[in-house]
Amino acid sequence: MGGTGEEAVYYCRDCHSLCIVVDETLASDMWDGSYCGKCHSTNIGECSIEEWLEVERRREQRRKEIEWNR
């Protein structure tokens, strides 16, 4: 994480939500039981909060551009 000493955030790579649920009763050798609390995807990513915020800003900008072009 660039050596800044900050902790990682976990997010859904599909919907970009930070609402990650860890259900250890579902965990196995292949999966830690983490899934998105919003869309239920198991496609979970990890990055710094600054990286996540930058991606979220770009996503919001794209959404606005799409709306403006309608």
Whole-angstrom distance, CA of residue 64 vs CA of residue 57:
11
pLDDT for res 69: 83
pLDDT tens digit sequence for 9-66: 999 999 999 999 998 888 888 788 899 999 999 999 999 999 999 999 999 999 898 8
Higher pLDDT, 54 or 67: 54
Q: Is the dihedral angle over the CA atoms 37, 40, 13, 57 positive or is it negative?
A: negative
pLDDT band for position 5 (50/70/90)?
low
* Cβ neighbour number for residue 64 with a 10 Å cutoff: 10
Domain ranges of the chain: 9-68
Higher pLDDT, 44 or 7: 44
Q: What helix, strand, coil percent values describe the chain, rounded to 5?
A: 30, 20, 50
Question: What pTM value is reported for the model?
Answer: 0.75
